[in-house]
Structure formats: structure tokens, C-alpha cells
Amino acid sequence: MKKIIYCFSGTGNSLRAAKVIAEVLKDTTIVNVRKDPSGYSAEDADIIGFVCPVYEWDIPGRMKEFISGLSVNPNAYIFMVATYIAVHGKAFETVEDILSTKGAHLSYSRAIRCVASQCIAYPPFPPEKLMLPLMEKNMLKTAREISEMKFRKYPHMSFITRKLFPKLMVPYLNIEHEYDKGFFTDKRCIGCSTCEKVCPNKNIVIEDGRPKWNHNCNGCNACVVYCPTKAIQFKRPKAYDELGTLMTKLLSLPDKRKRYHNPHINARDLMV
Ligand SMILES: Cc1cc2nc3c(=O)[nH]c(=O)nc-3n(C[C@H](O)[C@H](O)[C@H](O)COP(=O)(O)O)c2cc1C
């Protein structure tokens, strides 16, 4: 039986979920969506998984591109797991819509709440101590249900989110590729190219021993949080000024934006 999981992950939560599922399913390949989908067909796969975060009430642009370019077996058991913090929006509908153009459909879907890690906008929350045990528990529960090939309907976008989407999210989606405009390195940069290798969008090249961002960003934060010397700094994109300040105030978050990544996932895991 061929089992394959396609994964996008910036700060490791989704890759951790993919790994827990793969461990329970056994003999399962995890493909990072940095790869070219034409080389990773799922035409002969029996179990196909898509695991990624929710970004701007949808899935990351790179994940959309990847699934659109992928050949799948329409009769396979297909699952989707999205990691998120509060609003999954149309993430599952997007994947179902892309799959339906290929005659395929989601058999099982689940959203798993995780530590939110959009450090360019606001500090990570809720506290890791509280969330990590819950995340692990939910990932394992999800993995077991998938290994039993259970069916679970995909959650739709709520009425309110659908109404608010164009006003609240589309402005962010329009500038998403430019999130990297505020990224730069300080003197701690050792030119190790970790940032280049962990970027799921292949958005970074190393020039003269320093990273150069090419404005094809999804804002995943992988380069920032996995930099071994914490040399990558960032200016908050303008669009995030209001949101970031509001969330920091509302949730009484510390103003210092700590660099969270999932403790089970290291930079090497993301480089495959
Ligand atoms: C650019 C960006 C946009 C995000 N948008 C949402 C969102 O719309 N809804 C939500 O609940 N969480 C949102 N999050 C939080 C992530 O979905 C969450 O932190 C996820 O677990 C990250 O997965 P990863 O560690 O695999 O990258 C966003 C995070 C980032 C970086």
C-alpha cells in the first residue's frame, strides 16, 4: 500500500503533525512542498495526505500551487490536517475545490489548534507549556483515526467569516509575497544557508554569503525562527501594524516577539 503525505510547514507544527501521522500509518513518505509536484505524483497512492497551516483563513499559496500541479488517484483515501490557532476559514474548501477538479475528494479532515507563530506580526501564543501537550494529544488522536481510515467531513467556512473574508483577509493575501521586504540580517549572519534550505517557497538565495529574499514569500517565518544565530531581523509589514498592536494588547502578550518553532522539529527536518 503506497502512503504519501505532502506537507508545508514554516515553524514546524504541521511537519510535527505529518510525522506523528506517518509514524502511526507506518511506511509513509513525507514530501516537502518545496519540491516540484511533477516529480511526486500520487496517481498510484492508496492513502494521500495534505498537512499545512492555515494562513489568512486559507492555505498557503505554495500549498495551493503544489496541490494544483499534483496528479492524484481519485479513488485514494485522502485526508487533510490543518494546524491553526483560531479561524480555519476556507482552508478545507480550497483543498476540496482543487481536488474536485481532479475527480478526487477529501475523506477525512481535521483542524488542530497549535501555538500561533506569526512572529513578524505578534508574539507566539497561547503559552507553549499549555499548548504543546494538547497539540501532541490531538495529533496522535488524528493519526489513529486516519490509520483506521475513518471518514470525517471537512469543516466549512462559517457565515460570518465568509462575510468578513474580503475585507479582513484579502488585503493581507494581496501583499503576502512581500512579507519578506522587512527582512534583513545583522552581523551575526554566518552565511550558513539554513534560511535558504528551510524556505518552503525557495524564496531565498545566498549572495555574497548573505540571504537575499525574492518577494515570493508566504510569511511562514521559517527563515527567522530556524536561523541558528538569530541573525535574521524583521520590520513588521505595515499591514500588520494595527493587527499586531491590537492582538498584543487584547491578549496581554509581551511586546518582545520570541522566535517560536515546534520543539520536536529542527531545521534539518524541514530541509528534506
Ligand atoms: C502568515 C501567517 C498567517 C496565519 N493566519 C492564520 C489564520 O488565518 N488563522 C489561524 O487560525 N491561524 C493563522 N496563523 C497561525 C498558523 O496557522 C499556526 O501558527 C500554524 O500552526 C503554523 O504552522 P507551521 O508551524 O507548520 O508553520 C497564521 C500564521 C502565519 C505565519
- What does the pLDDT look like over 135-151, one tens digit per residue? 999 999 999 999 999 99
- The answer to whether residue 122 scores a pLDDT higher than 80 is no
Lowest mean pLDDT among 122-136, 237-251, 257-271: 237-251
Q: Please tell me the predicted confidence (pLDDT) of residue 255.
A: 58
- 267: which 3 cell numbers? 531545521
- Nearest protein Cα to ligand 1, atom 3: 55
- Nearest protein Cα to ligand 1, atom 29: 118
What is the distance in A from the centroid of ligand 1 to the CA of 194?
21
Which residues share a beta bridge with 77? Answer: 47
Phi, psi of 172 (to 5 degrees): -70, -40
In the chain, the percentage of residues whose pLDDT exceeds 70 is 94
- Nearest protein Cα to ligand 1, atom 1: 219
DSSP strands (E only) in 123-199: 183-185
- 16: which 3 cell numbers? 510535527
Ligand 1 pocket, mutate which of 87, 117, 261 (most atoms under 8 A from CB): 117
Q: Please tell me the predicted confidence (pLDDT) of residue 22.
A: 98
- The answer to whether residue 243 scores a pLDDT higher than 80 is no
Atom of ligand 1 nearest to the CA of 112: 21
Residue carrying C-alpha cell 490531538: 138
DSSP strands (E only) in the chain: 3-7, 28-32, 47-53, 77-84, 108-113, 183-185, 204-207, 210-213, 232-234
Helix extents (H) in 27-125: 61-68, 91-100
Band of the pLDDT at 239, cuts 50, 70, 90? low
- Nearest protein Cα to ligand 1, atom 27: 10
What would the pLDDT profile of 188-198 be if each residue is shown by its tens digit? 999 999 999 99
What is the distance in A from the centroid of ligand 1 to the CA of 1?
32
What would the pLDDT profile of 5-41 be if each residue is shown by its tens digit? 999 999 999 999 999 999 999 999 999 999 999 999 9
Phi, psi of 5 (to 5 degrees): -120, 130
What would the pLDDT profile of 61-74 be if each residue is shown by its tens digit? 999 999 999 999 99
Band of the pLDDT at 102, cuts 50, 70, 90? very high
The verdict on the CB of residue 114 being under 6 Å from ligand 1 is yes
Report the candidate in 88, 114, 108 with the shortest Cα–Cα distance to residue 96.
108
The verdict on the CB of residue 138 being under 6 Å from ligand 1 is no
What domains are defined for the chain?
3-160 (3.40.50.360), 171-263 (3.30.70.20)
Band of the pLDDT at 257, cuts 50, 70, 90? low
Atom of ligand 1 nearest to the CA of 16: 26
> In terms of DSSP bridges, do strands 210-213 and 232-234 run parallel, antiparallel, or are they unpaired?
unpaired
Higher-pLDDT residue of 208, 177: 208
Interior/surface letters 242-268, b for 16+ CB within 10 angstroms, e for the rest:
ebbeebbeeeebeeebebbbbebbebe
Q: Please tell me the predicted confidence (pLDDT) of residue 168.
A: 85
Please give the Cα distance from 95 to 79 (Å, whole number): 10
